[in-house]
Amino acid sequence: MKTRQPWVLLLLLVALAAAGCHDGVMDAAGQGNVRFVLSAGSSESATRSGDDHDDGHDGDDALPLLQSAIVTFSSLLARNLDGELIDVMIDLPVEVDVLALLDNRTIDLPMSVLPMGTYDQLVIVMTKVVLTTANGTEVAITPPGGGWTVVVRICPFMVGDEAMTTVTLQLHLSRSFRFLSDGFHFMPRFECDAR
């Protein structure tokens, strides 16, 4: 029995080492913390008042018609300089009322982790949008197959093991929510500012 103990210990060490890697992601010593922050696009109005318009909206801009817009963020990937798409370790899905961004607010997504390195692109997937109109009616927008997928090209940002990396995702609300002849539409438009 004693002669088998070294093999048992060796197998245990191999199992523990394998547990330190998952789908090519480095262990905690090789990762850094990333803070993803949502903000309104720089050209957005600070208010969503429709008082200037007789019919409550300007052209196909849906914002004056809405009280809230709950968007479900379900997946986030980052592309490194080798062209590999890496799953961001983040607690998703999460629901966000993005109309709150119009009041000059920012909204933090859950804290996330990425392997150390430099990244130059993000892929954002959203799977659900529920609007509440000015009269209190709820409207669900049907997503395309797999959800809305947006590729955001960015200035490269670096993830290290010491300082927190902050990446600001600017959502252009007035271009993302439209009211057309057949109803409400969601066509997400993002820009990214890493610092």
- Alpha-carbon gap, residue 16 to 33, rounded angstroms: 23
Backbone phi and psi for residue 11, each to the nearest 5 degrees, phi listed first: -65, -40
> From residue 139, how far is each of 23, 55, 85, 87, 154 by CA, in Å?
38, 19, 33, 31, 32
| pLDDT for res 110 | 97
Structure confidence at residue 193 (pLDDT):
67
pLDDT at 46: 45
- Give pLDDT tens digits for 33-74: 999 999 997 666 444 444 444 344 445 789 999 999 999 999
Q: Which two tokens stand for residue 130?
A: 């529920």
What is the reported pTM? 0.77
pLDDT at 191: 86
**Arithmetic mean of pLDDT over the chain:** 82
User: 168 or 52: whose pLDDT is higher?
Assistant: 168
